[in-house]
Amino acid sequence: MEERLADRLQQIKKLLHAEQLKLTPQREATLRVLLENQEAHLSAEEVFMLVKHKAPDIGLATVYRTLELLVDLRIIEKLNFGDGVARYEFRERDQPHHHHHLICLDCGKVSEIEDLLGDLERSIETRHRFRIVDHRVSFLGYCRECQEKTKTEGTALPSVAKDR
């Protein structure tokens, strides 16, 4: 894992240098936190709290600026799951987004599932003569753990109206 992390940091360092930017210690600490927690979809505040362990003198504004720079350089993507909190995840440079998210409305857990929309995208592009470069899909519901918890507690999860 440490070798993959070092390789990814080296790739990002090259991207920064290509933009005539440096991999400062603060940027490196922020990147390390993001790389070590890729599956977590961390918010800026969560990144900040984890970065403080690596770089105690770093400020929240520096983390925000670093995250926005990484978004601008298309190294990471800023995601909004409808709860007013921006979260971040790595994206492959110049590649379309290849997964979707399952968002638990009870505990807030975010899980990833593979992209199932390739055929639909091609159909839309052909039918509407529209070049799709990316898409985002989030499914809202209740994770297995929250469903089990409500069964054992004898409570019910709120239902969502469905037009069917």
41 marked as binding residue:
no
| 33-87: pLDDT as tens digits | 999 998 888 899 999 999 999 999 999 999 999 999 999 998 888 888 777 788 8
Of the chain, the percentage scoring pLDDT greater than 90 comes to 38
Burial of 33 (0-12, 13-18, 19+ CB in 10 A): buried
The residue ranges of every structural domain in the chain are 1-94, 96-157
Structure tokens at 133: 């470069």
135 marked as binding residue:
yes
Mean pLDDT for all residues in the chain: 84
Helix H or strand E encompassing 122: helix 118-128
Provide φ and ψ at 140, rounded to 5°.
-100, 135
Angle at 105 between CA 101 and CA 111, to 5 degrees: 25
97 marked as binding residue:
no
pTM: 0.66
17 marked as binding residue:
no
Of the chain, the percentage scoring pLDDT greater than 70 comes to 91
143 marked as binding residue:
yes
99 marked as binding residue:
no
| 14-46: pLDDT as tens digits | 989 999 999 999 999 999 999 999 888 889 999
Q: What is 96-157's CATH topology?
A: Dna Ligase; domain 1 (3.30.1490)
The domain defined by 1-94 carries CATH number 1.10.10.10: yes
